[in-house]
Amino acid sequence: MYLMRLGPVGSEKPVVRLDEQHYVDVSDTVPDFDETFFGGDGLARLGPLVAERTAAGSVQSFAGERVGAPIARPHQILCIGLNYADHAAETGMDLPTEPILFTKSPNTLVGPHDDVRLPRGSTKVDWEVELGVVIGRRASYLETEAEAREAVAGFVVVNDVSERAFQTERGGQWSKGKSAETFNPAGPWLVTPDEIDDVLDLDMWLDVSGVRRQTGSTKTMVFDPYFIVRYLSQFMVLEPGDLINTGTPPGVGMGLRPPVWLQAGDVMELGIEGLGTQRQVVVAPR
């Protein structure tokens, strides 16, 4: 299934995308795609409901509605750094022996086509196309990657927008450079695992103002998504609806020579094979 949320900020309704033109509205039965939905085995109940409504002709056409993030604000956004071998190489850093973990404020989550706002005082704002993993059930001390697979609700495109000066020049605390408002566009939809042949064979790309900056594949991940889920569960409890950003391929602004940073008016367009595309306009600070 392809889960989406449509409508104004704060008033999104949950729907299931059928194809490029059509969706099934489930908002009368499902209040939101949130912790309660995922933790209450909502996905298992949603499939039969969508099939029933599709067969009955209860299908609607997209009509230019705003697309929100496909999940409600999560309990936490966890991020993995340097998780692509070719990205680590462009930064000149060694491959990690264990996943590098940092956090991102949950209120950074916005829709896939919403504006990205530069923070006040920023000078080095960067882009990062990433595969996001959404947790489907409460998970702690998972013993195998098979258990980790069962704990995953689906996958989503994310843009892990980053302010590198805040990240690396203000005490070396990565979360400072990751948590500005609008810094985590997600969507356009959450794709359940059964819709993906091989999550470790997905092409990824990102353009800035018409210039291709990132071209990569999930093939070059150091730690695969299921390893990451099992690994993180050894250190914390993962809650239903939590989002994990799993790292970016090469081509980020700080890796270019000379570095290139986002400016107001720039347009980021990005996508992952099978998971949809995003488009964000960069706007000036408040």
152 DSSP β-pair partners: 135
Tell me: the pLDDT tens digits for 212-269?
Answer: 999 999 999 999 999 999 999 999 999 999 999 999 999 999 999 999 999 999 999 9
Same domain, 109 and 56: no
Assess whether 50 and 176 both reside in one domain. no
Asked if residue 126 and residue 95 are part of one domain, the reply reads yes
Per the structure block, which two tokens stand in for 194?
């059964």
- Mean pLDDT value across the chain: 95
**117 and 22 together in one domain:** no
Is the Cβ–Cβ distance between 133 and 246 less than 8 Å?
yes
Residues whose CB is less than 8 angstroms from the CB of residue 211 and which lie 6 or more positions away in sequence, other chains included = none
d(CA 172, CA 43): 40
Contacts 24+ apart (CB under 8 A), 9-16: 9/66, 9/68, 9/111, 9/114, 12/68, 12/72, 15/60, 16/46, 16/50
pLDDT at 97: 92
Both 37 and 109 in a single domain? no
Q: Which of 51-65, 92-106, 189-203 has the weakest average pLDDT?
A: 92-106
Q: Examine the pLDDT at 5 and tell me if it is beyond 80.
A: yes
pLDDT at 86: 77
Q: Is 138 exposed, middle or buried (0-12, 13-18, 19+ CB in 10 A)?
A: middle
Query: Domain check: are 81 and 35 in the same one?
Result: no
Torsion of CA 26, 43, 8, 186, to 10 degrees: -150
User: Is 91's pLDDT higher than 80?
Assistant: no
Say whether pLDDT at 180 is over 90.
Answer: yes
- Whether residues 139 and 239 fall in one domain: yes
Domain residues for 209? 77-283
> What pLDDT, on the 0 to 100 scale, is given for residue 235?
98
Residues 114 and 253 both lie in one domain:
yes
Calpha distance 233→207 (Å, rounded): 34
Over the stretch 255-286, which tens digit does the pLDDT of each residue have? Answer: 999 999 999 999 999 999 999 999 999 999 99
Tokens of 69: 């993030």
Separation of alpha carbons 132 and 190, rounded Å: 9
Give the per-residue pLDDT at 168.
80
The DSSP bridge partners found for residue 81 are: 100
> Is pLDDT above 80 for 179?
yes
Q: What percent of the chain has pLDDT over 70?
A: 99
Q: How confident is the model at residue 89 (pLDDT cuts 50, 70, 90)?
A: confident
DSSP label of 247: -
**Residue 227 is assigned to a structural domain of this protein:** yes
Tokens for 51, please give them: 């099939």
Counted domains in the chain:
2
| pLDDT, mean of residues 109-128 | 97
Residue 67 lies in a domain: no
User: Is residue 36 located within the same domain as residue 81?
Assistant: no
Mind listing the pLDDT tens digit for each residue in 144-168? 999 999 999 999 999 999 999 998 8
The predicted pLDDT at position 174 comes to: 81
| Separation of alpha carbons 26 and 39, rounded Å | 17
Annotate 52-118 with DSSP letters as a single string: HHHHTT--EE--SPPB--SSPPPS-EEEEES-BHHHHHHHT-PPPSS-EEEEE-GGGEE-TTS-EEP
State residue 104's pLDDT score.
97
Whether 130 and 221 share a structural domain? yes
Helix (H, G, I), strand (E, B) or coil at 52: helix
Sequence letter at residue 59:
V
> Do 45 and 147 sit in the same domain of this protein?
no
Query: What is the pLDDT, as a whole number, of residue 170?
Result: 79
Closest CA to 252 of 82, 116, 77: 82
The CATH number of residue 158's host domain is 3.90.850.10
